[in-house]
Every structure is written in structure tokens, then in C-alpha cells.
Amino acid sequence: MTTLRFVLPAALALAAATCSQQPVSSPTSVPGVTLNSTSTADQGSDERVSALASTPLTATVQFGAPNVGSPFPPVPPHDQSAHAKDNLIPRTVVIKAGGTVTFNSSGIHQVAIYDDGTQPEDIDTSIVRGTPCLGGAPLLINDSEDRLAVFDQPCAGGPASPSYTFPKAGRYLVICAFLPHFEVQMWGWVIVKE
């Protein structure tokens, strides 16, 4: 273990004492700062309760960012940013159990939600079905294992706002099931807390 050989200012000393997770048994003074007698373990519990109380019941995810990147299809001289629009904003949301997430989408995207514990590498991209909007080309991932919901995007890329309610705690994978988008990592997470 390395020992620091310089004097910390009072605020850093307080931060170091707080982060050590050691209980403070009696009021202690640092020049200009007074610590209370509550243990840091108790403070952590209070912070977790407060964080859970402030966890929202709803969230919105922008499924695709239509106003970024260069136009598709990529034609020379192209800046290779066509897939900049193929992402989730934000990539992770946190809600309470029983809460709902709305996925605002436009463009050729298909929202698919997978059960707690599913990872992107668990999705079998060899199972595909035809894309009605693209003449039936087999470009939609159709892996139904652990899939909770899938929402088709209207043809012509019109706007859609499907919602899904998450009844229990977990970490749920949300993907764009349009294979070219999934291949550029268009996925994210819904974290649901009790």
C-alpha cells in the first residue's frame, strides 16, 4: 500500500474520510469542516432510499437520431458517418418496476426488447425475416428466444412511439432488430429497480 506524503486540504480530507466507509463514532473536526456522528453506512442507506424515491416511472428513448450523419447511401466522397444516426439516446435509462419506456422512432428501425440478463452477443442474427418496407429483403432479426416484445416500424420510415411497461426489476436489452443497425451496435439498456 502506498502512503501519500503531502497534506490534503480540509475538503479533500473530508472526502477521503467519507469514502473510506469507516463508521464515524463521534463528532470529529477537520479545520473548517465538522463531521456528524452518523456512520457512512447509514448515509449510504439513506442515499439509496433517496435515489430509489427519485427513480422515475417513465422514460423516453430516441430510437435513432435522424438529424446526424451524412445521407444514405454512402457515395464517394463519403465521410463514413451514415450510421451516426443509428443509436439510442440515451443508451441507458433507469425506471422503477411497473414503469414504462416510450421509444420515439423514425426511419427504418424496429424496436425489440429482450428479458433480464440477455446480452447483445446472445442475439442470434442468423434468424431473420423479410423486411416489408424493403421489398421483403431478409434483414429483420427474428430471434424470439427471451424476446419480450417487438414493434414493427411503419413503412416509409414514418414516426412511431411504441411503449413497453416493465413489471419487475432487471436489466433489459433493447435493440434495433434491423440487422445493419444491430451490426453497428444499435442497442441499449432499460434498468428497472424495485
Exposure of 5 in the CB half-sphere (CA atoms within 13 A): 1
Mean pLDDT of 20-39: 34
Q: Per mean pLDDT, which of 41-45, 105-109, 169-173 is the most reliable?
A: 169-173
* Cβ–Cβ < 8 Å for 170, 188: no
Report the mean per-residue pLDDT for the chain: 75
Closest CA to 120 of 64, 171, 80: 171
Mean pLDDT of 18-39: 34
Judging by DSSP bridges, how do beta strands 33-35 and 28-30 pair with one another?
Answer: antiparallel
Give the model's confidence band at 67: pLDDT under 50 very low, under 70 low, under 90 confident, else very high: confident
The DSSP code for 48 is: H
Mean pLDDT of 4-33: 35
Query: pTM for the whole thing?
Result: 0.68
Within the chain, all domains assigned CATH 2.60.40.420 are found at: 58-193
Closest CA to 174 of 57, 85, 86, 91: 91
Tell me what percent of the residues of the chain surpass a pLDDT of 90: 47
CATH match for 58-193 among 2.60.40.420, 1.10.1040.10, 3.90.1170.50, 3.50.50.60 = 2.60.40.420
